[in-house]
Amino acid sequence: MLNATLALQEEHASGPLTVDGGLMIWTVFIFVLLLAILKKFAWPAILGAVEARERALEQQLAEAEQSRAEAAKLLEEHRRLLADAKGQAHAIVIEARQLAEKERAVAMEKTKQEQEELLARARREIVAERDRAVAELRREAVDLSLAAASKLIEKRLDSETDRKLVLEYLATLDAGR
């Protein structure tokens, strides 16, 4: 009996390498049926989802490219503005230096003019002092001359006429020089 059971099991034995025709037909039929159902109902939804995802990815790529281009444009604008700012700062520094040089030149010229004015005023004062000293010396010389003349003459001369006479004499001496 055991042998009979084993023989029967061997007839109906199923393994991975055993081919059962009925099972194979049913498997192919169910596969084709399932494929048709999937093609009719699931395939369009899956394909639509994949296409929507592809469009979304393409749109994201386009947006990323646009953002990259905009960022590059902004970076270039930033660089240009930075270069402009550096140029303006350099121009301001140069202008400030030139203005400082002009101010220094104006201050030097003003100082030179003030110095010349002081020198001219000092010269005028010296000339005025010299003229006053000469006039004082002349008065003293006249007084001394009159005193000497009156001693010589032994009498006192009229001082105003004598002064006039001596001044005229001194003027002739100055004109003779």
How high is the pLDDT of residue 116?
93
How high is the pLDDT of residue 113?
94
Q: Which residues of the chain have pLDDT under 70?
A: 1-16, 147-158, 176-177
For 170, residues 6+ apart whose C-beta sits below 8 A from its C-beta are: 138, 141, 142
How high is the pLDDT of residue 1?
63
Q: What is the pLDDT of residues 8-41, one digit of tens each?
A: 555 555 666 777 788 889 999 999 999 999 999 9
**d(Cα 26, Cα 29) in Å, to the nearest integer?**
5
pTM score: 0.39
The full length of the chain comes to 177
How high is the pLDDT of residue 12?
57
Per the listing, tokens 């989802």 go with: 49
